[in-house]
Structure 1
Amino acid sequence: MIPLNHQRAPLFEALLTYVNNETIPFHVPGHKKGVGMDQAFREFIGTNAMAIDVTVFEQVDSLHHPSGCIAEAQKLAADAFQATHTFFCVHGTSGALHAMVLSVLREGDKIILPRNVHKSVTTGLALVGALPIYIHPEIDSLTGTALNVTPATVEKALQDHPDARGVLVINPTYFGVAADLKAIAKLVHQHNIPLMVDEAHGPHLSFHKDLPMSAMEAGADICAQSTHKIIGSLTQSSMLHVQGERVDHRKVQAALNLLHTTSPSYILLASLDVARRQMMTEGFQLLERIQFLSHQARERINAIDGFHCFGAENLGSPGFYGLDPAKLTITCRNLGISGHQLEEILSKEYHIQPELSDLYNVLCTLSIGNTQEQVDSLISALQSIRKGYGQSPILSCSETDNVILPPLPLQKLSPREAMHGDTHLLPLWESIHHISAEFLMVYPPGIPLLCPGELISEELVRYIETQREAGLWIQGTEDPRVRHIRIVQASHQ
């Protein structure tokens, strides 16, 4: 087989040819290479970007029925990411996960998945009418965050539900924690069902031997990646990878055609094409840089009294098989301020914007675009903050050493039935014995206490009130104060 030429970017090259030919646009979009665009916006964005914002025609191919430059670009991406088939997505990894669920499951099918899956997975289940079988990830006692699921937990779920039609796992988690994906794939395939992976935070894993194993390398059948999260494509652009015969790639294309816009952004598509080229030609060196910056950042953060940033010392503990160095979880629980306060201080006083925060932590994401100077600025800010705070911890370690979650609620309806049924709001204490139509989560650890279709118990409501009194962040309901919750009307239960 002739090796593919990863120096090329077929889609981007086709767009450049269109521009260099000075093609006269009698096609949409209406701004016509930026000429009709608001002047201030055009000057800020630049005319080059406007020039490649085109529509579907033969020269630039069709995302729904690729046969030219998009097909070539996707073939190169499949080779780069060790897949059999790769699909470009311009509706984010949320849309890619919807397509994954639609292409694998049918109405009434059971799927085993972690309780802390992204809500787009659950809404995907609502689209297809599938039934979730939830398993709990491990919890880190210091940070309160969800780690990953263990092979033993997956194996137990497969034994309890031999009729499951698939297993979905997250790899790595938002906080960078990887599962023993190879062992999980082996267990799942013993049941001759597909392993599906939400790899939104792992598009870079294939390009460096020292990173956790990627889903495709571990033997997963299908995975969705947010190419824009760590490597260089634009926000909202993602990829969906398939390998083997357990998932029909034709069904994946059909699901994407059902969900995708018929007017995809060629700017986003081109950014996927060149991101693949960049990683195949420069990826190893770029990821070496991330690992260098991450290693020194961890050491410097851990040298500041009151802060902690977990790392390789946790490897081998349950649910902690690997760690993506791009994620810096900065725990400030012993400093006297919450993670939310730390994020606000960093943002407003130091113009540093973290990825997210919860009660105890701030998460900072490194990527191929971060520099030494930026890491230095983060460390300097943390050192300054330490001088101004750090009077007493917000909670002693002993108070939250064991994060105890209530038992999983009873699943009375499918997510589809709950989310599509007639609903109304009730005060939280009056909702006991009713079926939830909403999600309810507490941070940390960010695991849903309640999902659509589940029965609300008195024990659960008491737990929510206890966590509220402890200062934890509760969210997910239509009511931002979580004093009311939307429930399914009795006639639809």
Structure 2
Amino acid sequence: MKKDQNQTPLLDALTAYRKQSPAYFRIPGHRYERGISPRWLEQVGGAIFGYDLSEAEGLDDLHNPQGVIREAQELAAEAFGAEHSYFLVNGTTCGNEAMILSAAWEGETILVPRNAHKSILMGLILSGARPAWLMPRLLDGGLVGGVTPEAVEEGFARHPQAKGVLLVSPTYYGLCSDLKAIGEICHRRGALLLVDEAHGAHLGFSDKLPPGALQQGADLCAQSIHKVAGSLTQSSLLHIQGKLADRTRVEQSLRMVQSTSPSYLLMASLDAARCELALHGERLMDRACQLADKARRAIREIPGMECLGGELVGQGGVAAVDPTRLVFSAAGLGLTGYQLQELLYQREGVTLELADQRYAVAVITAANTEEEICRLIEGIKNLVRERGKRLQAEASPRPLSQLSQPPLPGIPPMVCTPREAWGATREDVPWSQAVGRIAGQALAPYPPGIPTIYPGERITEEIWAYLENFRKKGYPIHGAKKNLQVFSCIRE
């Protein structure tokens, strides 16, 4: 029997408790709107503190939910199409860690893409599992595409005992892998499909959007509801479906990685966001798609501008594209994505989510207004019209020759697991002497943002030369110290 989604049991319980206003001798230390910094009260107000409660009477316990939190999680499971859903107060980071902890342990193998979020590396360190790396495909311009079913088949051929596959879909740029086909490959082998769906909580709520991970057979997926669906930052959900995932182990893993003082503000915001999605999700997502489509069409008409979209499907392992992610470039005007982001903010009062050497990314949600979309479009037009190619010299330019993407090197040999590397003694060595050493850190040059080296891997001459090319040209390299003059290696 379907549940009534027009209810918010946890939010309502907090409201009722606040109205009751008992004399309070519990944690946290403030007392409703009292005991708060006057500066905070002056600038923000104090009402939100009235809902910042702990496991008081009638408010349940996240780590042993029997009441309103359990009811709220059950409503979330139904709304998102899961069998069980769990509130996350440490973000999708802890969801990714829990998925890995529940799926593979020390000595066991899991297939992981090289472009995995750093929380997945943390999950590998916590679990001791051995990653077998999958290389995502690249698109023109250096953009990371999807992991193909063929790559997953090859991964299982090399590692037939792998416990599962963990994929990032959609990516930060809204690009989705073929989860349905990959899920079928996993399930034929009795292996799990785990999905870091941090950027895809809205998928599946409209036929204008790609299907979500659960709709395509994922056994476990973690979603950042706060990124696109209106809950507070750091609040996420972890979903389970099917019989392959061990629910008990998932719950035990969550207790390891979640705070023992969970924020009721975060959980109540998840409860409210779920209600809104369940009741009005299709209308809201249709509106977001409409706004994004308006912006995409307008940007494509601006001379020198490029805006990606559905034409990417079928290329580079991309099975679907989230239309609410605007990925656009002014390379035709001699501008990097970094410059475009900087100029739009400084000169036009428009802030974007992300930029790299070629592209800038705007996240469109139903909360955006027509006026904001017009500001984005007009801001780009103003930059093109008023400055043109002269902008490159005025915004700390990075030469456009840097936009060319050299071929990716091969995956280096793994000497020890990420967990073993984490526990090893490390030392900084001059980068010029790093060939042959075992990496104690990860390095990810942009573009494409795929880590070239992970902790525990040996630095080959090919890897060193690839990274040295980035260093010499001034490419951003995430994880680099002192412009990569030194590198953290494991002491042997």
* Correspondence for 1:395: 400
Per-residue CA deviations over 1:397-449 (Å, capped at 9, x if unaligned) read 9x73x641011111111001111210010111111100001010111111000
Asked if the contact 1:335/1:394 (under 8 Å) is kept, the reply is no
Aligned equivalents of 1:158 and 1:349: distance in 2? 51
Out of 218, 221, 230, which is 1:223 matched to?
221
Q: State which drifts further: 355-364 or 273-282.
A: 355-364
Letter in 2 for 1:150: T
* Per-residue Cα deviation, 1:242-275 (whole angstroms, up to 9, x for no partner): 0111111111111111121111110000000000
Q: Determine the C-alpha separation between the residues in 2 that align with 1:318 and 1:444.
A: 15
Deviation at 1:333, TM superposition (A): 1.8
What is the aligned partner in structure 1 of residue 209 from structure 2?
Answer: 211
Give the deviation of 1:330 after TM superposition. Answer: 1.2
1:459 is matched with 462
Structural mapping, 1:76-475, within 5 Å: 76-142=75-141, 144-387=142-385, 388-390=387-389, 394-395=399-400, 400=404, 403-475=406-478
Residue 389 of structure 2: SS of its match in structure 1?
Answer: coil
* Length-normalised TM-score, structure 2: 0.96
Unmatched tracts of structure 1, length 5 or more: none
**CA RMSD after TM alignment:** 1.5
Asked if structure 2 preserves the Cα contact closer than 8 Å seen for 1:334 and 1:394, the reply is: no
Deviates more, 1:463-472 or 1:284-293: 463-472
Shift of 1:126: 0.6
Task: State the alpha-carbon separation in 2 of the partners of residues 219 and 225 from structure 1.
Answer: 15
TM-score in terms of structure 1 length: 0.96
> What is the rounded CA distance, in whole Å, between the counterparts of 1:335 and 1:420 in structure 2?
48
Q: Report deviation, 1:364.
A: 1.0
Which stretch of structure 1 is more off in the superposition, 256-265 or 214-223? 256-265
Which stretch shifts more, 433-442 or 349-358?
349-358
Q: 1: distance between equivalents of 2:439 and 2:420?
A: 11
Quote the residue 2:486 is aligned against.
Answer: 484
Name the residue aligned to 2:395: none
One-letter code of the match for 1:358?
D
Determine the C-alpha separation between the residues in 2 that align with 1:331 and 1:319: 21
Provide the secondary structure at the position in 2 that maps to 1:113.
Answer: strand
User: Given residue 110 of structure 1, which amino acid in structure 2 is its aligned partner?
Assistant: T
Q: Any unmatched runs of 5+ in structure 2?
A: 393-397
Indicate the SS of the match to 1:63. coil
Residue 128 (structure 1) shift: 0.8
After TM superposition, give the deviation of residue 396 of structure 1 in Å.
Answer: 6.5
Q: Report the Cα distance in structure 1 between the residues aligned to 2:435 and 2:81, rounded to whole angstroms.
A: 49
Q: Secondary structure at the match of 2:303?
A: coil
1:40 counterpart residue number: 39
CA distance in structure 2 between the aligned counterparts of 1:121 and 1:464, rounded to whole angstroms: 23
Residue 240 of structure 1 aligns to a residue whose secondary structure is strand
**Equivalents in 2 of 1:140, 1:318: separation in Å?**
5
Query: Which range moved further: 347-356 or 8-17?
Result: 347-356
Question: What is the SS of the residue equivalent to 2:280?
Answer: helix
Q: Is the 8 A contact 1:181 1:213 kept in 2?
A: no
Distance 1:98 1:351 in 2: 37
Q: Any idea what SS the aligned residue of 2:237 has?
A: strand
Looking at structure 2, the residues matched to 7 and 180 of structure 1 have their Cα atoms a distance apart, in angstroms, of 33
Distance 1:301 1:44 in 2: 37
Give, in angstroms, the shift of residue 394 of structure 1. 4.5
- What letter is aligned with 1:102? L
For 1:28 and 1:463, locate their aligned partners in 2 and report how far apart those are by CA, in whole Å.
53
Residue 283 of structure 2 aligns with an amino acid whose one-letter code is Q
Q: Which amino acid aligns with 2:490?
A: V
Does the Cα contact within 8 Å between 2:74 and 2:84 map onto a contact in 1? Answer: yes
Q: Displacement of 1:467 after TM fit?
A: 2.3
Between 156-165 and 37-46, report the one with greater CA deviation: 37-46
Rounded Cα–Cα distance in structure 2 between residues aligned with 1:319 and 1:89: 30
Q: Which residue of 1 aligns with 2:71?
A: 72
SS at match of 2:338: helix
Distance 1:62 1:480 in 2: 46
The 3-state SS of whatever aligns with 2:204 is helix
Q: Distance in 1 between matches of 2:118 and 2:203?
A: 23
Do the aligned partners of 2:208 and 2:289 also contact (CA within 8 Å) in 1? no
Tell me the secondary structure at the aligned position of residue 334 of structure 1: helix
The 8 Å contact of residues 208 and 286 in structure 2, kept in 1 or not, is answered as no
- 2:465 maps to amino acid: R
CA distance in 2, matches of 1:140, 1:131: 28
Partner secondary structure for residue 390 of structure 1: helix
Alpha-carbon distance in structure 2 between the residues aligned to 1:251 and 1:351: 47
Shift of 1:480: 4.4
> How far apart in 2 are the matches of 1:480 and 1:137?
29
SS at the partner of 1:37? coil
**For residues 180 and 14 of structure 1, what CA distance do their matches in structure 2 show?**
41
Secondary structure of the equivalent of 1:195? Answer: strand
Task: For residue 182 of structure 1, report the CA deviation from its aligned partner.
Answer: 0.6
Residue 62 of structure 2 aligns with which residue? 63
AA of the residue aligned to 2:352: P
Q: Distance in 1 between matches of 2:330 and 2:449?
A: 17
Q: Secondary structure at the match of 1:123?
A: helix
* Aligned-partner Cα distance in 1 for 2:132–2:344: 39
- 1:32 is displaced (CA, Å) by 0.7
Kindly provide the CA deviation profile for residues 132-188 of structure 1, in whole angstroms up to 9, marking residues without a partner as x. Answer: 11111111113x110111111111111121011111111111100111111110011
Amino acid in the other structure paired with 1:482: L
Residue 349 of structure 1: how far off its partner (Å): 2.1
Cα deviation, residue 462, structure 1: 1.4
Q: Equivalents in 1 of 2:201, 2:43: separation in Å? A: 29
Q: Name the aligned partner's letter for residue 94 of structure 2.
A: G
Q: Distance in 2 between matches of 1:409 and 1:52?
A: 50
Equivalent residues, number: 485
